[in-house]
């Protein structure tokens, strides 16, 4: 179904801007705190809408390379978990920690790009 | 048990008269009752007791009530200490010289106010970001890591005979427990599985079993510019490896952005260890502290999952609990940094 403008990202942005500019300043106490949390949640949604599909595609191609066969992202991710739980893969497995690091960095790009450990890792440090 | 503010104030006035007696005179009044925090496991209230002694002198005591509203199991501690047990641990630690608020009385069944206890209210700073950034605490930050070491040495020296019955929880029990909780959510986090395996493979026997606070971190310490005024939140107290408390204090999540200062975002491990050893805590095993830092990072990640699933299951719907699920990735990166 083709919907009209605004697009979903534009709608979420509108709500987030309203909360930030008009609601937040008029509140205090726990409602103000929870409004700040709500604004942060909408920022996560905005980043995921923009970057999520590309990051998921990259995760899938890494998993295909690591596991040696194709499949749905969910199924491949489950297979990786099984391999780690069974002890068939660990920190010594070539490519595993690189894959996990890339996956976690992609999640943090969406969840909380201001996290200090993430900022440090972007600069190549830890 | 839900209760209105008026009913709580009236009930507290009776409880105060029952437990404090002559110390507050007849007919003590409760004033300025205000809720400080609310949660499924804990409520914290502040109030003043105003009494008139037999001499005619007026007496005003600032108090804190910690109470379990008893709704749902979410957030319930795995130590099953209960509020009375928590109060007894806090009292024993204070008697042993640990900075902690004085427990005034434990609620009894005839108070009809649920499970809880009342302690003297102290003034001080508890907000981590202020402790880490306010100019007022610049001098404190130069010795707070060492002070934490001294306090932990005192805390770990509390004689078990002075404590209520506590659950013994070593690394094996905790890995088992948190691993089960994580797997039951059916939400794959490969880094958690890697960490659980590493923890099982690298477990070491503790040098001794002591009282462990269980949540000794930036945020549960009340400080003043001069030092630690009170260690708070004793509900996770148990018997275990004392190195657990040192490791938990160093978890990256409790550095609140100051990631280059491993001890709570304010200090260095060397100073923490030196304070601990100087105050008679015994030799610190840095490998064990690191082990518990890995465990603590994983534990905080799983706690984030627990909170977010309490929202998802409908047990306690809250935007805050929904949002915290997206903090799991923070602990994954910190775990990878520790393990690889």
The domain locations on chain A are 8-122
pLDDT the model gives residue B320: 93
Instruction: Note the ipTM here.
Output: 0.95
Note if the bond before B170 is cis, omega within 30 degrees. no
Among B12, B118, B1, B2, which Cα is nearest to B66's? B118
* Phi, psi torsion values for A27, nearest 5 degrees: -115, 160
Whole-angstrom distance, CA of residue B181 vs CA of residue B321: 17
CA angle, A32 then A38 then A43, to 5°: 130
Residue B330 has its nearest CB partner, among A40, A100, A117, at: A117
Using the beta-carbon criterion (under 8 Å), do B333 and A117 form an inter-chain contact?
yes
What is the C-alpha to C-alpha distance for residues A116 and B299, in angstroms, rounded to an integer? Answer: 20
The pLDDT, as a whole number, for residue B36 is 87
Asked if residues B262 and B255 have their Cβ atoms less than 8 Å apart, the reply is yes
Long-range CB contact pairs, B30-33, < 8 A, 24+: B33/B5, B33/B8, B33/B9
Q: Which of B329, B332, B334 to mutate to test the interface with A (most CBs of A within 10 A)?
A: B329
Alpha carbon of B238 to those of B80, B124, B143, B330: distances in Å? 10, 26, 27, 27
Q: What share of chain A is helix, strand, coil (3-state, %, to 5)?
A: 75, 0, 25
Nearest to B120 by CA among B168, B29, B48, B179: B48
Q: Mutating which of B36, B190, B305, B311 best tests the A interface, going by the most A Cβ atoms within 10 A?
A: B190
Domains of chain B: 5-120 (3.30.200.20), 128-339 (3.90.1200.10)
Interface test with B, best of A38, A116, A125 (most B CBs within 10 A): A116
Asked if residues B194 and B127 have their Cβ atoms less than 8 Å apart, the reply is: no
CA dist., res. B50 & res. B62, Å (int) = 9
For residue B62, pLDDT over 50 is answered with: yes
Q: Are B191 and B329 in contact (CB under 8 A)?
A: no
Token pair, residue B299, equals: 């534990």
**pLDDT computed for residue B57 by the predictor:** 87
B contacts of A78 (beta carbons < 8 Å)? 188
How many Cβ pairs closer than 8 A exist between chain A and B? 84
Q: What is the pLDDT of residues A69-119, one digit of tens each?
A: 999 999 999 999 999 999 999 999 999 999 999 999 999 999 999 999 999
Position with higher pLDDT, B73 vs B85: B85
The answer to whether B182 contacts chain A (CB < 8 Å) is no
Cα nearest neighbour of A118 on chain B: B333
| Residue B192, min C-alpha distance to chain A (Å) | 10
Chain B CB contacts of A108 under 8 Å are 329-330, 333
**Residue (of B69, B72, B71, B83) closest to B3 by Cα position:** B69
Q: For residue A84, list chain B residues with Cβ-Cβ distance below 8 A.
A: 190, 193-194, 197
Q: Touching check for B37 and chain A: CB below 8 Å?
A: no
Closest residue in B to A116 (Cα–Cα): B257
How much is the pLDDT for B40?
60
Please, are residues B92 and B158 in contact by the beta-carbon 8 Å criterion?
A: yes
Whether B240 has a pLDDT exceeding 70, the answer reads yes
Neighbours of B122 (CB within 10 A): 17
């Amino acid at each position: 179904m083709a919907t009209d403008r605004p697009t979903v990202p534009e709608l979420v942005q509108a709500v987030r801007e309203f909360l930030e500019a008009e609601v937040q300043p008029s509140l205090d106490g726990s409602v103000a705190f929870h409004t700040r949390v709500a604004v942060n949640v909408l920022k996560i949604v905005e980043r995921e809408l923009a970057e999520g599909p590309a990051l998921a595609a990259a995760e899938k191609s890494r998993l295909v390379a690591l596991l040696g066969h194709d499949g749905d992202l969910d199924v491949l991710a489950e297979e990786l978990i099984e391999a780690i739980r069974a002890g068939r893969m660990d920190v010594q497995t070539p490519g595993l920690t690189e894959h996990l690091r890339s996956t976690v960095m992609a999640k943090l790009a969406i969840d909380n790009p201001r996290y200090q450990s993430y900022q440090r890792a972007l600069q190549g440090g830890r | 048990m839900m209760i209105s503010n008026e009913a709580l104030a009236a009930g507290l006035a009776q409880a105060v008269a029952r437990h404090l007696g002559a110390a507050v005179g007849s007919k003590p009044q409760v004033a300025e009752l205000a809720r400080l925090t609310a949660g499924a496991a804990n409520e914290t209230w502040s109030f003043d007791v105003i009494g008139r002694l037999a001499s005619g002198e007026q007496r005003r005591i600032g108090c804190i009530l910690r109470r379990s509203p008893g709704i749902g199991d979410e957030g319930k501690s795995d130590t099953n200490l209960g509020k009375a047990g928590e109060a007894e641990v806090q009292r024993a630690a204070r008697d042993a010289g640990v900075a902690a608020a004085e427990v005034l009385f434990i609620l009894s069944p005839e108070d009809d106010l649920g499970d809880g206890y009342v302690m003297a209210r102290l003034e001080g700073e508890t907000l981590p970001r202020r402790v880490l950034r306010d100019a007022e605490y610049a001098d404190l930050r130069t010795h707070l890591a060492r002070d934490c070491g001294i306090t932990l040495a005192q805390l770990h020296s509390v004689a078990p005979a002075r404590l209520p019955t506590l659950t013994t929880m070593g690394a094996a029990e905790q890995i088992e427990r948190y691993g089960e909780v994580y797997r039951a959510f059916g939400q794959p986090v490969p880094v958690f599985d890697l960490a659980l395996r590493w923890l099982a493979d690298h477990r070491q026997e503790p040098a001794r079993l002591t009282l462990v606070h269980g949540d000794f971190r930036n945020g549960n310490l009340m400080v003043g510019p001069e030092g630690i005024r009170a260690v708070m939140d004793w509900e996770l107290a148990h018997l275990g490896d004392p190195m657990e408390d040192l490791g938990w204090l160093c978890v990256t999540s409790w550095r609140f952005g100051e990631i280059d200062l491993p001890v709570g975002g304010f200090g260095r491990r060397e100073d923490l260890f030196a304070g601990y050893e100087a105050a008679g805590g015994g030799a610190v095993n840095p490998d064990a502290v690191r082990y518990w830092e890995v465990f603590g990072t994983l534990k905080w990640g799983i706690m984030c999952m627990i909170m977010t699933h309490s929202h998802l299951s409908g047990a306690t719907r809250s935007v805050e609990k929904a949002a915290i699920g997206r903090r799991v990735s923070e602990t994954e990166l910190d775990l990878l940094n520790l393990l690889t």
